Chain A
Amino acid sequence: MASVFFMLTMTLYFASTVCYLAYLLRRAETLSNVSLGITAMGFATHTVALVARMADAGQTQLPTFHEALSFFSWMLILVFLAVEFRRQLHVLGSFIVPLALVSLVTAAAFRSDEVYSLQPVFKTLWVHVTLSMLGTVGFAVAFVAGVMYLIQDGLLKSKRFNVLYAKLPALDYLDHLNQQSIVMGFPLLTLGIISGAFSAEIVRGTYVNWNPEQTWAMVTWGFYFAVLVGRLTIGWRAKRAAYLTIIGFAGVILTLIGVVLKSHGSVS
């Protein structure tokens, strides 16, 4: 059942991505309702898929990369729906939903129907994975806000008052969204790293062994720490913050790729 719902979710997110991209280019607002409806349906089937998968495994944890990415995609949509509900910021969907789709398609690539039941020593790993993923969701939203900021900034500077200009919100709102996302994401990532260190201690006996993936995680953490402190103290906001969060998210993606390569290396 999980796989049926998973495929259904992917189809719905794909349809919603198409609608949201069309929404960007067209003057009409009606398309956003259609897109939102499809997204909400996709979110519902996604939830069912996740729960069913956990039920199949008989454990409330996210043992593989597939689950982690699927969960990431689910969280992104949840955050989007929350912002949309509160601020009616339709255009956010045009940026977040495609990202969620990419994440879900990647998840599909790593899907395997055999259910891992982990050895007891790995049982605490889900705390690390969940927290890190939640932190990453924060950075992903900051990234999206940064991209939207740069687009709107560019349109204002070049005085191109097109459809996109009309649909994107005010610059300082995007900057605020960027800040809020990092303020939420950073502590979660910090906790994720700490819990990861504890897990490593249980599994390997050492907290940190500075493998490339851990090193990258620490670099990313340090980077976001600097971004956050810079913003709060010396005014790294607006355009600079937008650039920094885009770079930072690239770092996050690299870390994730590292995790994947490593886990696949170890499987084979």
Chain B
Amino acid sequence: MHIIVVGLSHKTAPVEIREKLAVPESRLREALSRLCAYPGVREGLLLSTCNRVEVYAVVEELESGYGRVQEFLADTHLSLSSEQLTPHLYWHAGDRAVGHLFRVASSLDSMIIGESQILGQIKDAFEVAMTHKASGLLLNKIVKKAISVAKRVRTETKIAETAVSVSYAAVELAKKIFSNLNEKTVLLIGAGEMAKLAARHLIANGVRQVRITTRNVQHGLELAQRFNGTAVPFDDYKTELADADIVLVSTGASHYLVTADDVQRAMRQRMSRPMFLIDISVPRNIDPAVRPIDDAFLFDIDDLHMRVEQNREDRLREATKAEQMVIEEVSVLGQWLQSLEVTPTIVALRTRTEEIKRREVDKIMARLGHLAPEDRAAVESMASAIINKMVHGTMVTLKAEATSASGAAYVDAARRFFNLEETPAGYTSGHAEGPDGQGTGVSNGTGRLPDTSAVPHPIKEQGRRVR
């Protein structure tokens, strides 16, 4: 059995292809049942976001599995052929597939590294897969692990801590001046796109009072309605300054709308309560002479850009740490997956029973020193017979179920019943062939992870093509 992923993302496919493949929520159920109806596909999970469409599946055979999933993807949209799709797809199996999911969940593969939406999207996709019984023992475990890895990355690195857009950088700065944005008032002068975006971020972060002023009265009223704020006449903006904790300016004016005198006057009325001024206009609308005024903090578009640039570097640095965590977690999960393979389980079961027999026989022999050699042999063979008969059923079942849908569950159960926790030493998932030549266990299609080179980058590492 193999875990695979086939998909495309913003890194490998243009939006024209991605939007065709994207599966709307209403059709997820139908898509999943279509996926699982393919022969040899045991479990499936479909992740469809605006930046990626990926199918995670547990398949019986690697090559045919890849083919089926690709067929499934091509079938999602009538106008897409498998040939059109192929150049944009990536394929991973085994540890690489698991590592890929972990990276995606931790937002290491996102367009904006560290963004948090993707985790929610994975949770949703997982829930749909579980509700429709498309995912089973393996995918459940892997996806749950992916979610916990993403949480670990989030808490142990600072990957998601900083702003990566100019409009969000404004919020981040506001939070270094005001600890609580709830009772703060924002004054929006002019309605440039970026200022509107910044205002929306501020509202999302707790700001309740929004006052808006634009030259175009109608426009101002519309905006006020959209932001649940108050429109004020444009002529009054200077008197409004004193009540505003955060001032967002972006107009098309070619001169300074807010001068140092205006701010000084406002600060006196505010009795030194800090004021945060953001000038997103080019040419600038707030006189830079405002900068030295105490308790007034002016940031222009360049300052915000600089902040974003710094944050991007920070995130990349944090991403390296996160990649390391993913590698660790993949190997932990790899151990669990290995343990689900039939051969090592049978070997471990034999070793374990042999151990028990040996110990008990030795114990009794020490007390029955007077026995003749042939009697000793009889006692020993009786012990062997009991042990063998005891585990015979288990062994037969394990072998018989090795290729069935619930094979992994049997192995898991056997390991627990007989307390076979540890994986036998020297056994790697590269040799997953069962005793009778059947591919049992979860083997690693593309070989083991190279030791240091991190989990492969989907672009650099195109996986393998299906011939």
A interface with B by C-beta (< 8 Å): 27, 29, 152, 156-157, 159, 161, 165, 168-173, 176, 234-240
Contact = CB atoms under 8 A, between A and B. Distances in A.
Given A169-B179, A171-B177, A172-B178, A235 B271 contact: yes
A240 to B, nearest CB: 6
A234 B180 CA distance: 23
Interface stretch (B302-310, B340-348, B388-396): B302-310
Given A161-B307, A168-B176, A238-B272, 5 more contacts: A27-B158, A156-B176, A170-B177, A237-B271, A240-B272
B272 A235 contact: yes
A33 to B, nearest CB: 12
Contacts of A27: 158
Contacts of A236: 272
A172 B179 contact: yes
25 contacts: A29-B158, A156-B173, A156-B176, A156-B177, A157-B291, A159-B306, A161-B310, A165-B176, A168-B176, A169-B179, A170-B176, A170-B177, A170-B178, A171-B176, A171-B177, A172-B177, A172-B180, A235-B270, A235-B273, A237-B271, A237-B273, A238-B294, A239-B272, A240-B272, A240-B294
Contacts of B180: 172
A239 B294 contact: yes
Interface of B: 158, 173, 175-180, 270-274, 291-292, 294-295, 297, 299, 303, 306-307, 310
A160 to B, nearest CB: 10
Contacts of A240: 272, 294
A169 B179 CA distance: 8
B185 to A, nearest CB: 14
A230 to B, nearest CB: 10
A167 B299 CA distance: 20
A106 B311 CA distance: 43
Contact of A173 (B179, B291, B294): B179
B274 A172 contact: yes
Contacts of A235: 270-273
B308 to A, nearest CB: 11
Contacts of B270: 235
Q: Would you call the interface of chain B mostly helix, strand, loop, or mixed?
A: loop
B295 A156 contact: no
Nearest to B174: A170
B177 A238 contact: no
Nearest to A239: B294
Given A152-B176, A157-B291, A159-B303, A234 B271 contact: yes
Contact of A238 (B178, B179, B295): B295
A238 B276 CA distance: 14
A30 to B, nearest CB: 9
Q: Which of B272, B291, B292 is most buried by chain A, counting CB atoms within 10 A of its CB?
A: B272
A157 B297 contact: yes
B433 to A, nearest CB: 44
Query: 5 closest A-B pairs (Cβ-Cβ)?
Result: A235-B271, A170-B179, A173-B179, A238-B272, A238-B295
Contacts of A152: 176
A232 to B, nearest CB: 11
Contacts of A173: 179
B354 to A, nearest CB: 46
A97 to B, nearest CB: 23
A235 B292 CA distance: 19
B274 A171 contact: yes
A240 B295 CA distance: 9
Contacts of A239: 272, 294-295
Nearest to A87: B179
Contacts of B292: 157
Contacts of A168: 176
B30 to A, nearest CB: 46
Contacts of A238: 272-274, 294-295
Nearest to A237: B272
A135 to B, nearest CB: 25
Nearest to B181: A170
A183 to B, nearest CB: 18
Nearest to A158: B291
Contacts of A170: 175-179
Contacts of B297: 156-157
A173 B175 CA distance: 10
A27 B158 CA distance: 9
A176 B180 CA distance: 12
Nearest to A241: B272
A143 B175 CA distance: 23
Contacts of B158: 27, 29
A157 B295 CA distance: 9
A236 B291 CA distance: 20
Contacts of B310: 161
Residue from A165, A172, A240 whose CB has the most chain B CB atoms within 10 Å? A172
Contacts of B274: 171-172, 238
A238 B178 CA distance: 12
Contacts of A156: 173, 176-177, 297
Contacts of A161: 306-307, 310
A19 to B, nearest CB: 19
Contacts of A29: 158
A176 B270 CA distance: 16
A169 B173 CA distance: 11
Nearest to A174: B179
Contacts of B271: 234-235, 237
A23 to B, nearest CB: 14
Contacts of B173: 156
Nearest to A30: B156
Nearest to B172: A161
B165 to A, nearest CB: 16
Contacts of B273: 235, 237-238
A232 B185 CA distance: 22
A236 B271 CA distance: 7
A227 B366 CA distance: 90
A27 B270 CA distance: 36
A132 B273 CA distance: 31
A189 B352 CA distance: 74
Nearest to A236: B272
B41 to A, nearest CB: 44
A7 B295 CA distance: 44
Contacts of B272: 235-240
A196 B52 CA distance: 74
